[in-house]
């Protein structure tokens, strides 16, 4: 079936654009399936492709009409797929302030006691110090908890950083609530989606994603 966004797609271009529009409008997979008449399994697969694309795109691609660039995170995600074709589990992430934008990065899992040291301003080691210098907050994806780092108050524009990080966490928490829980192997994709929605909340993300998806034009085998 002819489709500018996916090669060998089993749904029409118009159907995919409708899925993308509803995704941008924050509709759930169940709602999208009901509106489009496509099975929920197929809808979830396409939503997974959209979220993986969001994770893999460089921020500049979303702001400009340019080629899609792929990050190391996406490469690692592809390399670590298990036998069921699912991404490997990322259990912890750091929120970095990059100019006026927030950037989410996967990090090595930390024990809860070491996490609390960072949030309470207690003494910590070199590894924790590196995290404190780079990030303004940490997200525990296993327990669905957000930890704001004490060091943020010592930074220039610290209050604004904290406010933006809280906004990202609020968007992500709302996704968890609407989805009635998220699978551990895809929850990081939802966090990256929340990053996009937070950073470009004043923009028309449908138009941005449409351009990127058209250039990406990946090969898929889908059964609607």
Q: Are residues 110 and 164 in the same domain?
A: yes
Q: Are residues 147 and 110 in the same domain?
A: yes
Q: Are residues 27 and 102 in the same domain?
A: no
How high is the pLDDT of residue 217?
61
Q: Calculate the CA 2 to chain-centre distance.
A: 29
Q: Are residues 96 and 175 in the same domain?
A: yes
- Examine residue 198 and state whether it is found in any structural domain, yes or no: no
Q: How many domains in the chain?
A: 2
Angle separating helix axes 40-56 and 29-36, nearest 10 degrees: 120
Higher pLDDT, 45 or 114: 45
Question: What is the band of 113 on the pLDDT scale with cuts at 50, 70, 90?
Answer: confident
How high is the pLDDT of residue 123?
65
Task: Provide the 3-class DSSP secondary structure of residue 6.
Answer: strand
Q: Are residues 128 and 179 in the same domain?
A: yes
Q: Calculate the CA 44 to chain-centre distance.
A: 15
At residue 49, φ and ψ (nearest 5 deg) are: -65, -40
Q: Are residues 168 and 211 in the same domain?
A: no
The CA R_g of the chain, rounded to the nearest whole Å, is 18
Q: Are residues 113 and 73 in the same domain?
A: no
The mean predicted confidence, pLDDT, of the chain is 77
Domain residues for the domain of 8 are: 1-88+203-224
Q: Are residues 95 and 80 in the same domain?
A: no
Q: Is the pLDDT of residue 49 over 90?
A: no
Higher pLDDT, 106 or 222: 106
Question: What is the band of 88 on the pLDDT scale with cuts at 50, 70, 90?
Answer: low
Token pair of 18 as six digits: 């409708």
Kindly state the percentage of the chain with pLDDT values over 90: 28
């Amino acid at each position: 079936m002819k489709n500018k966004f996916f090669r060998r797609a089993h749904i029409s271009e118009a159907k995919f654009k409708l899925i993308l529009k509803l995704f941008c409008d924050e509709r759930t997979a169940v709602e999208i399936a009901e509106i489009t008449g496509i099975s929920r399994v197929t809808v979830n697969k396409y939503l997974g492709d959209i979220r993986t694309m969001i994770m893999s795109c460089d921020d500049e691609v979303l702001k400009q009409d340019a080629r899609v660039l792929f990050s190391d995170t996406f490469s690692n995600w592809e390399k670590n797929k298990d036998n069921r074709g699912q991404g490997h589990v990322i259990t912890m992430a750091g929120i970095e302030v990059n100019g006026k934008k927030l950037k989410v990065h996967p990090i090595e899992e930390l024990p809860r006691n070491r996490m609390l040291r960072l949030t309470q301003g207690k003494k910590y080691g070199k590894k924790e110090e590196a995290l404190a210098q780079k990030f303004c907050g940490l997200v525990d994806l296993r327990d669905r908890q957000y930890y704001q780092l004490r060091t943020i108050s010592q930074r220039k524009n610290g209050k604004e950083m904290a406010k933006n990080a809280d906004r990202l966490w609020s968007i992500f928490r709302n996704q968890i609530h609407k989805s009635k829980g998220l699978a551990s192997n895809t929850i990081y994709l939802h966090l990256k989606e929340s990053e996009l929605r937070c950073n470009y909340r004043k923009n028309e993300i449908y138009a941005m994603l449409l351009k990127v998806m058209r250039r990406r034009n990946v090969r898929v085998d889908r059964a609607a």
